[in-house]
């Protein structure tokens, strides 16, 4: 009888994962996936009630969990997050930089302040948390960072100058940090397509818009949170031990934006 060993490489027993934006959507789903694979998890986001709900689910899986409410835009709070995790768990093995996002807007209406805020929220926060956690990731021996980017970091459409630029920068930051941190810490990212979360609430409640997105997605459906969470689990675990500096496109196969904002010519 052959002893199964390949699936064991997805296990995260004894490891500790940090997840930002963990109160709902992809962050919450990723935290649950990591816990299901055996990791203890530290959660941060701005809404304590949402974090506690996710924490209860993780406790139900038999894992330890730490809830640290906060705003990742405040870089001092990110440092405090790392400090509290070390006090509680005494190690950090995995960082999932999930917090981010920016509402689309016509280019003439996008202020410099809004553009810089999008970069800070999507890129600077990931840079800062990874840097703060790096000494502990190096100590781990199995350090892994997973950044949540977007298909709009490589595609183009009107209205995404701030968001798309920020996510494109996050993708390249991933490649550069992978070079800086090799061979002891792996850094990868997921370029997410259209996923059915609260971020798409306006689309999900409009049948015409939803159908348009589905029709323009080769796999014929919107993504689910677990589609991304499983990618996070792969990139965080030893199953991907020969992978670093890569941007995994989990997007249903799109090669063009699948929802036009129908912005007029200038």
- The catalytic site residues sit at 163
Q: Is 72 in contact with 21 (CB distance < 8 Å)?
A: yes
Q: Which residues pair with 16 in a beta bridge?
A: 40
Torsion, CA 151, CA 100, CA 25, CA 188, rounded to 10 = 60
- Alpha carbons 42 and 88: distance in angstroms, whole number: 9
> If you count DSSP H runs as helices and E runs as strands, how many of each does the chain have, helices first?
9, 7
- Listed residue (167, 64, 177) closest to 129, CA to CA: 177
Please list, in sequence order, all residues whose beta carbon lies within 8 angstroms of the beta carbon of residue 234, skipping any fewer than 6 positions away. Answer: 10, 240
d(CA 89, CA 29): 21
| CA-wise closest residue to 67 among 116, 14, 5, 23 | 23
């Amino acid at each position: 009888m052959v002893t199964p060993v390949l699936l064991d490489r997805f296990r995260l027993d004894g490891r500790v994962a940090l997840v930002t934006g963990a109160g709902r959507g992809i962050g919450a789903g990723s935290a649950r996936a990591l816990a299901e694979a055996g990791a203890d998890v530290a959660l941060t986001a701005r809404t304590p009630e949402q974090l506690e709900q996710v924490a209860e689910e993780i406790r139900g899986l038999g894992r330890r969990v730490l809830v640290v409410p906060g705003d990742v835009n405040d870089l001092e709070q990110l440092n405090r997050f790392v400090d509290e995790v070390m006090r509680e768990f005494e190690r950090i093995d995995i960082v999932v930089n999930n917090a981010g996002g920016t509402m689309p807007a016509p280019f003439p209406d996008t202020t410099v302040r809004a553009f810089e805020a999008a970069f800070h929220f999507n890129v600077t926060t990931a840079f800062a948390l990874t840097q703060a956690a790096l000494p502990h990731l190096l100590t781990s021996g199995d350090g892994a960072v997973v950044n949540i980017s977007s298909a709009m970091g490589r595609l183009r459409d009107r209205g995404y100058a701030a968001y798309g630029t920020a996510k494109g920068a996050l993708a390249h930051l991933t490649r550069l940090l992978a070079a800086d941190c090799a061979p002891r810490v792996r850094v990868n990212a997921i370029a997410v397509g259209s996923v059915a979360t609260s971020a798409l609430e306006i689309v999900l409640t409009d049948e015409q818009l939803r159908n348009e997105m589905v029709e323009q997605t080769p796999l014929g459906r919107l993504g689910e949170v677990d589609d991304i969470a499983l990618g996070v689990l792969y990139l965080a675990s030893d199953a991907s031990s020969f992978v670093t500096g890569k941007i995994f496109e989990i997007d249903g196969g799109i090669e063009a934006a699948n929802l036009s904002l129908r912005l007029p010519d200038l």
